[in-house]
Structure 1
Amino acid sequence: MHVPRFSLPRPSLFIALAALVGLTTHATAATPGIADEKPADGPSVKVDQGYMVPYTVRIPGTDIEFEMIPVSGGTYQMGSPDSEEDRNDDEGPQVKVEVAPMWVAKTEVTWQQYKEYMRMYSIFKDFEARGERTVSDDNMTDAITAPTELYDPTFTYEYGEEPMQPAVTMTVYAAKQFTKWLSRITNQQFRLPTEAEWEYAARAGTTTAYSFGDTADDIDDYAWYFDNALDGPGLVATKKPNAFGLYDMHGNAAEWVVDLYSEDGYARLADKQPVDAIESVQWPETPWPAVARGGSWEMDPPDLRSAARLASNDDDWKSEDPNFPVSPWWHTSDPSRGVGFRLFRSLEPLADEKINLFWDANDEETKDAVQSRIQGGRGGWGLVDESLPEAIEKMDN
């Protein structure tokens, strides 16, 4: 089939926390991913707190794990130079960006991980029916929505739902709510990246069109894309990683960032250089066009370049949605079946006012759509905190 192509706690409590979250790391300090001493091997980043190191998180109440990789801070040029082959006008002007140290997930979020979040829809409905863990105006900041059950799974799963395939077709709002859910139950601040952070992680210190060079000659070694993935996305981490140890930054699934897309690229930042990567965000005032980066298995190599941008279009991406109004959690149509996301975590946690921008809806249209679905019985709120997994276990028993 031809697929369309498109241009914390005190040290004495760390053991208990590690047991809850499922940490496996070289770290000996109280902060997950921080070690007191430089490890003998593997990546590490020297910071004031010690050494940032790779660490593994287990989703509480499950055996599902994922790995976070330390990425040092630095300054780089975001966007592509005028001389780059296949460059698009929305990739410039290049601007100097300062990026703080962070951890980045080794792979894109997989169906194995995302389906645990999808389970929350029926779980929240059960709590609501029991009159337990009720959401009110007083605790709304601790609540999330979960994606409604798929009306027609063939839209989302036509090209696979293997546990280690990247999860796809969720809206950027649903991806943000996933990161809030995961953050609350693990007591770690996960989120989507800014566009500037994503490109910094993808480039991995390079200035070339791809993290492996200026041409696509070696792309089969690094990416699932249209010519080598005709049957759908590949399993994550089956190609080579970039220099930071991150897999599938080119291809497989394009990855959501929090920024609103604009055709004039980074012109609004040109007079503000150097720009802080967090403060560089153009926060959405409408649900779309949002930005996805990295290109997908449906696309050609030029769309997988480190600076390439994909703008969402809800009119097209939800054109086959049978719901009215259309879902704020799901897309149905290409290229959304190649769009997923990846987890990021700052070394220094963001203040509540800032992290809420990463977790919750920013625009009134999305807020109204969610509320409309909930009022119609096709959605619901649920409280998320470290006690949720235990509450679910008790309910199941």
Structure 2
Amino acid sequence: MNRLAHLALAVAVSLSAPAALAADLSVPEIEQQIAQKQSEYANYNDNLAAETAAAGTLESELEELRENASLAEVDRQTALIEMNLQYEKMVEDPSLDITLVQKNYQNAVREHKLIKDAITDKYNAWQAKLREVEQLQVSKHSLLNTLEGLKELLNTARVDRLYREFNQKESVSVAHNIACDRDETLNKCMERGKNLAKQKASKRFLDAIYESLSESVEAERRRASSDGYVQVLRSEVVDSNFSGMGNFNVQLNVQLQGNLKRNEGCHLLGLDERYCVLDSDSAVADTDPVAVPAAVSTDESVMHELIVRSNVFDDEVFIDGVSYGSTRLQIMLPAGEHDVEVVKRGYEPYRQSVMLKENQTLRVELERAKYTFAKGERIQDILAGDLPGPNLVVIPAGNFRMGDISGVGLDNERPVTTQELSYSYGVSENEITVGQFQAFVEATSYVTEAEQDKGCAYYDNGKAVFEAQRNWRAPGYMQSENHPVVCISVNDAQAYADWLSEASGHTYRLPSEVEWEYAARAGKETDYWWGEGVGTDNANCGWCGSDWSNVSAAPVASFERNGFGLYDTVGNVWEWTNSNRVQSGSVVRGGAWNFAPRLARVSTRMELDASFRSNYIGFRVVREQ
């Protein structure tokens, strides 16, 4: 208990809200915080493994005691029978001494009682250890969320630092000498000399900026494709003269300023652009004038190379209505706008307008026609009492790679395996809502586990804390009937699914982990169904740029569907699934409104006790064919 008390104190101290650190910590200070939290997280993993093993040992010892109790009971019964036989003999022969059998029976009774008492003590110790393991699991995930939040702040701080370092002003003194052209007037030669001197000063200044950046190596790698530039604020001629050989010498003092848009800062550091989206609390403002895009040349004498690739064979590519054959296609086209269409029988056609102003590669992902949601691919059962069931989307049979494909995940996301689903199934298109759960409660008078015992957990300074007054009706933030229902345990979710089964005549249940990830990926192998980076305002998770991030759950379907037509498979609330990989059988998937984007990746798994409930965990259901 001393070790657990120490860990609980560490959690309380270390899980302070990362947002509170944003304005106070520099990049090195945040990096130091991250290193500290990573060390704490490693310690949590070690301690969780040790406490889990200790719980297993106590359970084994309990089973051994129960076996011993059975044997002791046999000994007691045997001693009792022997003592009763000796009593009967003593009735016939009063001189018979039965002291020994009496003592044997007394010893057997005493031994049996000692073992029963030991069983009680061992059972209580085992249950206490299980509660400690559960608390460690919750605290571990809380610490992980804090760690990921610090990483989010680190990236924002890196962009802020780069922005400040790049957008600096400086005066540069430069001397330049040119030879005047024979047909050039003196004034034109002077102007040309001064302009070349300014160019030299600008190049020298820009080189110096890149060399002085804290992350100069990272920025230099992407310098060639960056739009960062230098602006000449003013220039002053210190000295100028003409030599007798027709040369013009000039010395200038040039005041220069670096100009880098925040989104270019993300590009130079190789970060997702969401770190460059300003909010009202940002300490660094982008005050650059609005950039005017350069006009795109439409001169047909300017040619660029267009490469078209697709994910299928034997397709056909049309450019401006003319067929150019199958991919991989490599063709030279005039600069300007072109309409590209890629078609193949059995697949949805792909169409895109391309503004060609440089060499470009177009990567086309054709999707099978059966993946579109035509008539017959949507299901809604009518329940008893003419109540509408959840809107369902049919997920087709298929196979996919499951787990940490990108290689940036946690240990429990590995190894990557190939999974095959030989059947199609229906999945609720969004998380079950407050209104849908309300209909279930009104029909059955069901009382959730949160309402029966100690309420529902919420984050308080980064720690999961139970509050008796919190439940699915009052999770601690404002909600409508269209919000996802939260404060729901696995048993609560399964009770809702069982009610759907009884009321519809079809089998409803929670999804398995395989079914959930297959549906959430929607045919993609990226961390999020739209790509590798979480972006901005694509989902409701912590630091994801939505109106609800780190505030509350959002109404369901507030963001776009994935490729299979499902809403909110990224963020909003974690969703219960059934798993055969953990003892409790309960794993939540998908991330939540107050968890970092890295924990909202499609392969992220959070193993929890089935009785746990919080205001950031909900569920969706599966309907079998």
Q: TM-score, normalised by structure 1?
A: 0.55
Quote how far apart the aligned CAs of 1:204 are: 0.1
Is the contact between residue 291 and residue 311 of structure 1 (CA under 8 Å) also seen in structure 2? yes
Deviations 1:52-87 (A, max 9, x none): 511223443365553111111101111013x533x1
Is structure 2 residue 518 aligned with structure 1 residue 217?
no
Could you say which residue in structure 2 is the equivalent of 1:150?
451
Is structure 2 residue 394 aligned with structure 1 residue 70?
yes
The runs of 5 or more residues in structure 2 that have no matched partner are 1-15, 19-141, 146-367, 453-467
Equivalents in 1 of 2:435, 2:143: separation in Å? 27
SS for the counterpart of 2:391 is strand
**Where in structure 2 are the equivalents of 1:1-397 lying within 5 Å?**
6-7=144-145, 45=370, 52-61=376-385, 64-81=388-405, 83-85=406-408, 87-99=409-421, 100-120=423-443, 122=445, 147=448, 150=451, 152-156=468-472, 157=474, 158-218=476-536, 220-221=537-538, 223-227=539-543, 228=546, 229=548, 230-260=550-580, 262=582, 284=583, 288=584, 290-313=586-609, 331=612, 336-347=614-625
Q: TM-score, normalised by structure 2?
A: 0.36
Quote how far apart the aligned CAs of 1:199 are: 0.2
SS for the counterpart of 1:117 is helix
Equivalents in 2 of 1:246, 1:168: separation in Å? 19
Letter in 1 for 2:412: D
Equivalents in 1 of 2:471, 2:387: separation in Å? 28
Could you say which residue in structure 1 is the equivalent of 2:120?
none
Quote how far apart the aligned CAs of 1:309 are: 0.6
Is the contact between residue 570 and residue 602 of structure 2 (CA under 8 Å) also seen in structure 1? yes
Quote how far apart the aligned CAs of 1:174 are: 1.5
Deviations 1:133-169 (A, max 9, x none): xxxxxxxxxxxx7536826443542123410100112
Kindly, what percent of the aligned residue pairs are identical?
27
Between 1 and 2, higher relative CO (CA 8 Å, sep ≥ 6) is seen in 1
Quote how far apart the aligned CAs of 1:208 are: 0.7
Is the contact between residue 450 and residue 487 of structure 2 (CA under 8 Å) also seen in structure 1? no
- Pair member with larger Rg: 2
Could you say which residue in structure 1 is the equivalent of 2:242?
none
Deviations 1:255-280 (A, max 9, x none): 11111554xxxxxxxxxxxxxxxxxx
Equivalents in 1 of 2:522, 2:541: separation in Å? 20
SS for the counterpart of 1:118 is helix
Is the contact between residue 80 and residue 94 of structure 1 (CA under 8 Å) also seen in structure 2? yes
Is the contact between residue 5 and residue 299 of structure 1 (CA under 8 Å) also seen in structure 2? no
Letter in 1 for 2:561: P
SS for the counterpart of 1:292 is strand
SS for the counterpart of 1:103 is strand
Equivalents in 1 of 2:385, 2:428: separation in Å? 20
Equivalents in 2 of 1:114, 1:5: separation in Å? 31
The alignment's C-alpha RMSD in Å is 3.0
Quote how far apart the aligned CAs of 1:44 are: 7.9
SS for the counterpart of 2:554 is coil
Could you say which residue in structure 2 is the equivalent of 1:266?
none
Corresponding residue pairs, total: 242
Equivalents in 2 of 1:249, 1:63: separation in Å? 26
Deviations 1:334-357 (A, max 9, x none): xx211111111223xxxxxxxxxx
Letter in 2 for 1:154: R
The runs of 5 or more residues in structure 1 that have no matched partner are 8-42, 123-144, 263-283, 315-327, 348-397
- Give the structure with the higher percent strand: 2
